[in-house]
Each structure stands twice: as C-alpha cells, then as structure tokens.
Amino acid sequence: MDSPLAPNWLKPPADTAGVDPKIFSSGVARDNAQLTVQGIGVSELVEQFGSPLWVLDENDFRSRARDYVEAFNAAFESLCGGVDVFYASKALLTVQVAKWVRDEGLFMDTASGGELAIALRAGIEPSKIGLHGNNKSDAELETAITKSLGRIVVDSLPELQRVAQLAETLEMTANVMLRLTPGVNASTHQHIATAHEDQKFGLTMTPAPGAETSAAYQAVTFAAGCPHINLVGLHSHIGSQIFESAGFATAATRMLEFIAQLAAEQIAITELDIGGGYGIAYTEQDDPLAPSVIANNLAEHIGAETDRLGVACPRISIEPGRSIAGPAGMTIYTVGTTKTVWVEFEGNHYPRRYVAIDGGMSDNPRPVLYDADYTAVLANRISEAEPVLSRVVGKHCESGDIVVNSVYLPKDIDHGDLLVVPATGAYGHAMSSNYNMLPRPAIVAVKDGHAREIIRRETYQDLFSREVDL
C-alpha cells in the first residue's frame, strides 16, 4: 500500500526483490532468490565472515577509479595534456584500498597524518600524495615536507607561514597548493558544502572591508616569493554529494579569473585542482552523472573560459572519493526484531514497520548526521508478501539511530532475515565508531568471484586494547 507517511519520492516497488543498477555495485545480482555479489550469496558471506558485514565489490571500485582516469584524461588531453585523479581517501581507506588506487593509476588525497601514514604504508609514491586539512599539526607538516609530498594543500595564511618556516628549518622545499574559497554555495547538505565564505576551509578570494587584497592574493604573492616554497597551484573544493555541474563550473570560472589576474602580474599558476564531490545514487531519487559527462562538461567549460580570459589552461586535477568507493560498497545486516507503530496523519492512523538490525549509527552515522536517505532490500530470500512502509533502525541506545528512514519491505520480514543496504562504501567504515561498545564489522573484498577479508571484525578484546591499567 502506498503510505502517506512515505516521502513523496518513494513509491511501493513493483518488485521488492529488484536490484537497481543505479544504486547497487555492478557485481550484485539475484540468484536462486538470494542476493549475490559476483556470484557469492549473502548468506554464504555472513556464514563465513559474520554479521553485520561491509562488502566491497573490488572490481566495481577499480572500474570506477579507472573510469575517472580515462574519462578525464580523454576530455582534457588536448586542453592541458591530461588530468591527475587524486582519490579522496577520507571516503574509505585501508592499506588494500590504497593499493588498488595506486594500481589503477590514481594519486592519493589525504587529510590527516593518519591517512598519510596509510597511503605511505601502501607504497604510494610521496610525489603522488597530497595532504589536506584546515588545521594540520607541526608534526603532520614536518612529515609532509620531509617526505616531499607532491602537494601540501595549505588552508590559511598562518599555515603558509608555518610551512615556510618549517621548510627553511628543515632545509627543504615544500610543494604547496593553496586552497581558496571561490564563494560558491553548493547545493548539498550544509555540513558538506565547503566553498562559501562563512565556513572554516580555505583562503577567501574577497578582500576584507577596507583591505585592498584578499587573503588568497596575499598567500599567492607570499608563496611565489618564498625560496622554500614551490607553489604548485591553486585548489578549490565546493562540497560533496553534488549532482549539478553548475557549481563546479562557477568555481572553475572564479579560479580561472584569478589565475588570469595573476598572469597579468607575471605570476604563473600552472595547476588547478577542482576538488571532488560528485554525487552518487543512494536511492531512486538520485541521478548521478557518469564521469565522462562530468569530464566533458567541465572540459568544455574550462576550455571556453581559458579562451575568453586568454590564459593557458593549467594542468587540472580532481579528487573524487564517494563516487569511487560509495557504490562499490554495501552492508549486510541481520534482522533481530520488528514492530509496527500506528502514526496519525491528517486524522487517520497508518502503520510504520520498524525493522531492527544488528548494526546502526556506529557503522553508518550518515543518516543521523546529514539526514541521508538509503534504501534496503531483503537479501536472503524473495518474499511474495505485501510491501509495507518500513524504517530500518540500529541497536544503539538512541531513537535517532536510523539506518534507512523509509523503504518498502516485504511484510513478512522476520528475525534472522538478511537485509542489504547498498551504497555504503564511502563514509561508512570511514566514519564508524564503537558507540555502545559495538565491535566494528569486517570489510570483505570480493574480486573475480573470490571473497577475502581486508579488515577483520573487531572483537571484545579489541575494545580492551587501549585500556592502560587492566
């Protein structure tokens, strides 16, 4: 039944067993009623590796990574010789994942000393690593300088001065990109929009009232004149989970206009990073663009703008994270208990089914943090039962512990059934916690029909492992 409690975009599915290729990784199918990942049944995965379980379709991850490299290089080749694709490792990072990224020819964007340590441990060449962060520690900067990272993406004037000083003390040259805020208000959740003025990231391009130059301009002139800094280029990242090209285009225009202004003053900027943020489909309401479409749109825009401004096209780099890792991952949960509540709406009462699973906000805090929508399917069998409006909730001690806010699931879902929540590859494991002392699930990578653990499940012993006086 179509429930008035459901959001407008959600309709009861014609087939509750369906697997939407827009949302699920390419290796997911239905086989003998069960959901399979590259031919391996979800029941078999849970039997072998336990529940809940993060499953990563390695082939899908790799092919998405390759798609970005191929599409952007094809689109930009004649314009600027090609594009460096930096995988935004904050989306999902393990040593194995970093190796896949390296093998597929991508560079690596890190945002902390910890991410940097994992990238280095995976054997990624320092020249192919960038270090981000609005508040890097001296220790992080020192590592970045001594390892000669390809770029330290400097976020503020005081940080730039600290980098210069540290590099001088270390008798090194720091490769620096400057992160600017082009003033674009990206259409996404406020907590993941990053290029408008009133937020913490980046150097503003607008002079303060009464000032003649912007912080961005002051940083560029300082960096260009500093013997211990190699100014690699400029950077902007407008936000995350963005579907429209317009925001990226506006940001690129503002950056190129600034580059043209600097060129007129004999300051050559030869690289421009336009960040990541390409959206993915979490539910049927999302319509992401293919990398080739994004690449062609951006190349056309950047080509036209560099012509208009009479500047050479800088070498372009991008930083996709979610759109590589997200769709490749999924979470398998086991249903524990269910209940139905009756909710009043315009004078009538309608049922909402609560389906409680064995994980929750500790393995996926995104619904709590950003009101993010997800979907779920009954994965261990096919049911002919009527689809009912359901809410998939976790096992944490909070009523906000919701994994899927609204989804139609077969009415007979019961204890022991398996649910799969797709598109959890990005910012799931990456933002997971031990809230309520839940041990974190394992990550299993499936490649060419073979499954292996790349991160083992936490145990209660792990929960004691940092206690100092046991």
| Footprint of ligand LLP (CB under 6 A) | 88, 90-91, 109, 132, 192, 237, 240-241, 275-278, 319-323, 366, 370, 426-427, 431
Minimal distance, residue 467 CB to ligand LLP, in Å: 29
Cβ neighbours around 270 below 10 Å, total: 14
Query: Of 80, 226, 313, 397, which one is the catalytic site residue?
Result: 397
CA distances from 107 to 130, 227, 242, 260 (A): 8, 26, 22, 27
In terms of Cβ atoms closer than 10 Å to its own Cβ (0-12, 13-18, 19+), residue 70 is middle
Query: Please, where are the H alpha helices in 171-312?
Result: 215-224, 245-264, 291-309
Q: For residues 126 and 428, which CB has a smaller minimum distance to ligand LLP in the complex?
A: 428
Minimal distance, residue 92 CB to ligand LLP, in Å: 9
CA separation for the pair 172, 189 (Å, rounded): 40
Q: For residues 105 and 336, which CB has a smaller minimum distance to ligand LLP in the complex?
A: 105
Q: For residues 93 and 378, which CB has a smaller minimum distance to ligand LLP in the complex?
A: 93
Minimal distance, residue 336 CB to ligand LLP, in Å: 26
Contact between 181 and 197 under an 8 Å Cβ cutoff? The reply is yes
Minimal distance, residue 42 CB to ligand LLP, in Å: 24
**Structure-block tokens of residue 370:** 């950003």
Q: For residues 294 and 379, which CB has a smaller minimum distance to ligand LLP in the complex?
A: 294
Minimal distance, residue 433 CB to ligand LLP, in Å: 13
Minimal distance, residue 198 CB to ligand LLP, in Å: 17
Q: For residues 373 and 417, which CB has a smaller minimum distance to ligand LLP in the complex?
A: 373
DSSP letters for 236-259: ---BSSB--HHHHHHHHHHHHHHH
CA distances from 300 to 155, 251, 274 (A): 29, 14, 14
Cβ neighbours around 152 below 10 Å, total: 27
CA separation for the pair 126, 108 (Å, rounded): 9
Minimal distance, residue 133 CB to ligand LLP, in Å: 9
Q: For residues 354 and 435, which CB has a smaller minimum distance to ligand LLP in the complex?
A: 435
**Structure-block tokens of residue 51:** 């529940």
CA distances from 383 to 8, 24, 33, 54, 469 (A): 25, 20, 9, 24, 52
Cβ neighbours around 365 below 10 Å, total: 18
Instruction: Please confirm, yes or no, whether 226 is among the known catalytic residues.
Output: no
Contact between 70 and 76 under an 8 Å Cβ cutoff? The reply is no
Contact between 183 and 138 under an 8 Å Cβ cutoff? The reply is no
Give the amino acid at 316: I
Q: For residues 258 and 282, which CB has a smaller minimum distance to ligand LLP in the complex?
A: 282
| Nearest to 68, CA basis, from 259, 270, 285, 324 | 324
- Residues with catalytic annotation? 397
